[in-house]
Chain A
C-alpha cells in the first residue's frame, strides 16, 4: 500500500511540484494519473521511488516513511518499485539481455554484476520476462536495433525481472503510435492482473485512461482535483481536470488495431 500524507514538493527553483497531496493507493490497483503537462504527474510518480524527494509531509510505502531513506534503504525501495519511462531509457549499445538482466542489479552484488556472474535463476527469470512480452527472439539484438514499441516491451521485461510489487510508468506511450500504445498498455494491464503488481501510470490521453484504469486520479498544478473509479469518469470529468475543453490531442485513438496483442 502506498499512502501520501499531506505531501508537498517545492523544487529548488521555487516550482511547486506537489501541493498537500493526500491519497491512498491499494495493493494491486491499476491507477492512471491524468493531467496536463506540468500538472505534477511526474513528480507524483517519481516521489514513490524517491527519484525526487518531497519537501513536506510523509510518504508511506508498505507502512514505512520512505522520505528518510538513504543509501541501502533507498536501493531496497527501488528494487521493490520498478519504473518505466517515456523514452524507454535502455542502454542502446547493450544487448536486450544485458538491459533486462540489469533489473536484477538491486539483488546482485557489485562484483558479481561487473563480472556478469548472474545466478542461473536470474538468467532464467530475465528470459522468462522477455517471453512474457513476446520479444525473446531479440535476446542478443542491440537495443538500438529495435523499434520504439519493442524497446518499451524490453523495458517492461526489465521491470518484470526486478520482481517489483509496484510499477510506475511515466508517460509510457507518449513516444509511440496508437496501435503500439495499446499493445504496451495491454502488457502493463496483463502483468498488473497476473502478478498483482500495483501499477501507477501517467497518461494524458483520456480514452486510454478510461479504457485501462481501475481508478483515475486527476491532477492540476500539483494538486489532486479528481479521484475515483474509471467507471465514473466521462469527458466532462476530464474537462474539469484539464480546466479547458477536450481537444483532439487528448485522445490517442487507434483502439481497433489489428496488431497482435496478448
Chain B
C-alpha cells in the first residue's frame, strides 16, 4: 500500500510544455497592459489628492443648478425628444421592406438577400455622430440634419432586429395562406405581420430610447437639440447652467426609459 509513487504518475493536468506556453502568453498580455498604461499615462495613481481637489472644485462650480435657466433647457430637450420621435417613426416605417428583404425565409433570391444584409451592415457600422457631421455639412446646422442621422442609424438596428424575428417565425401559417390562393403581399400581411407585430412595437420603442440618448450627443456637432446648448454652456464656462441641463436631461431620459420599459414588458 505504501509503496513509493510510480514515476509514471502524471505531475499535472496539462503537459509541462503547455504550461510554459500559457505562462509566456500571460506574460506577453501583462506586458501589453503595462505598455498601454504607460503610453496613455493612465493608472490608479492618477486618483491622487489633486484629483479629489478637482472634483470638489467642479462640484462647487456645478452647484447650485441655475433653475432660472430651466425654461431654455426644457424647450431644447423637447426638441431632442421630438427629433427622436420623428426619426424613430420614419425608421420604423422604412425598416419594414428592409427587414422583409433581409429575412431568408421570405426572400429566396440569394443575391437580393445578401445584398440587403450587406447594405444594412454597412449602415450599422457608421457611427451616428459621423452621420450627423456629414448631414450638418450637407444641410447646415439644425434639427433636420440630426433627424436624418438618427433615421439612418436606427434603420440599421431596427431592420436587423426585425429581420431576425421574421426568420424565427412559424412558417406553417404562411403555407396555409399560400395554399388558399393568397399572393405574396397577402401572405405577408396575414401570416407574417401578426406574428412579428408585438416584437416590432417592442423593438421600435427600444430604438426610441436609444435615439433620445443618441440625440443628446448629436447636438454637440450642431445637429440640434439639447446637446447644442450643452456644448455652448460648457464653452461659456457657465457650469450652473450645465448642471441644470444635466439634471433635467437625466430625469427626462429616466422617465422615458421607464415608461418605454413598462410598455415593452406588457407586449410579447
Give the docked Cα–Cα distance between A159 and B190 (Å). 15
Q: Quick check: B182 and A106 within 8 Å, CB to CB?
A: yes
The answer to whether A93 and B175 have CB atoms under 8 Å apart is no
Interface string of B64-90 (1 = CB under 8 A from A): 000000000000000000000000000
B181 within 8 A of A: yes
A193 within 8 A of B: no
In the complex, the answer to whether A102 meets B172 with C-beta atoms within 8 Å is no
With contact pairs A91-B194, A113-B189 given, residues A51 and B179 touching in the complex (Cβ less than 8 Å): yes
Known contacts A85-B175, A87-B172: A105-B194 contact under CB 8 Å: no
Query: B176 contacts A79, CB within 8 Å?
Result: no
**Which A143-170 residues have C-beta < 8 A from chain B?**
155, 158-159, 162
Give bound CA distance, A76 to B180, whole Å: 9
The CA of A78 and the CA of B175, in the complex, are separated in Å by: 11
Other-chain residue from A49, A89, A90, A105 in contact with B186 (beta carbon distance below 8 A): A105
Inter-chain contacts of A83 with B (CB < 8 A): 176, 179-180
CB of A110 within 8 A of CB of B185, answer: yes
8 A Cβ contacts from A98-147 to B: 98, 102-103, 105-107, 110, 113-114
A-chain residues with CB within 8 Å of residue B176 when the two chains form the complex: 83, 85, 89-90, 102, 155, 158
B contact residues around A90 at 8 Å (CB): 173, 176
Q: Does B133 contact A (CB under 8 A)?
A: no
B177 contacts partner chain A, Cβ-Cβ < 8 Å: yes
CB-CB < 8 A to A102: which residues of B?
176-177, 180, 182, 186, 190
Could you tell me if B189 and A162 are in contact, using CB atoms closer than 8 angstroms? no
B180 touches A103 (CB 8 A): yes
B170, B181, B189, B190: the one within 8 Å of A79 (CB): B181
Given A94-B194, A113-B186, A89–B178 Cβ distance below 8 Å?
Answer: no
Q: Does B191 sit within 8 A of A, measured CB to CB? A: yes
- Decide if A82 is an interface residue (CB 8 Å cutoff): yes
Whether B181 contacts A89 by the Cβ 8 Å rule is no
CA distance A114 to B172 in the complex (A): 20
Q: Is there an interface contact between A106 and B178, defined as CB atoms closer than 8 Å? A: no
Judged by a CB distance under 8 angstroms, whether B195 is at the interface is: yes
Report Cα–Cα, A109/B87, bound state, in Å: 33
Docked-complex contact A106 and B180, CB < 8 angstroms: yes
Once the chains bind, are B181 and A78 in contact (CB under 8 Å)? yes
B183 contacts A by Cβ under 8 Å: yes
Does A75 sit at the interface, judged by CB under 8 A?
A: yes
The closest CB in chain B to the CB of A90 belongs to: B173
Within 8 A of A (CB), among B234-264: none
Q: In the bound complex, how far is the Cα of B40 from the Cα of A213, in angstroms?
A: 83
Determine whether the beta carbon of A76 is less than 8 Å from that of B181.
yes
Chain B, residues 140-184, CB within 8 Å of chain A (1/0): the string is 000000000000000000000000000000101101111111110
Is the Cβ of B190 less than 8 Å from the Cβ of A78?
no
Distance from B261 Cβ to chain A, minimum over Cβ atoms (Å): 22
Of B172, B179, B198, the contact of A49 (CB 8 Å cutoff): B179
The answer to whether A91 touches B175, judged by C-beta atoms less than 8 angstroms apart, is: no
- Which residues of the partner chain A approach B190 to less than 8 Å between Cβ atoms? 91, 94, 98, 102, 105, 113
Question: Which chain B residue shows the least CB distance to A76?
Answer: B181
> How far in angstroms is the closest Cβ of chain A from B168?
14
7 contacts between A and B (CB under 8 A): A75-B183, A82-B179, A93-B195, A105-B182, A105-B183, A110-B183, A113-B189
Q: Which residues of B pack against A, CB within 8 Å?
A: 170, 172-173, 175-183, 185-186, 189-191, 194-195, 197-198
Beyond known contacts A51-B178, A102-B176, A106-B181: 7 more, CB 8 A cutoff: A75-B182, A78-B180, A90-B173, A93-B194, A105-B190, A113-B182, A162-B180
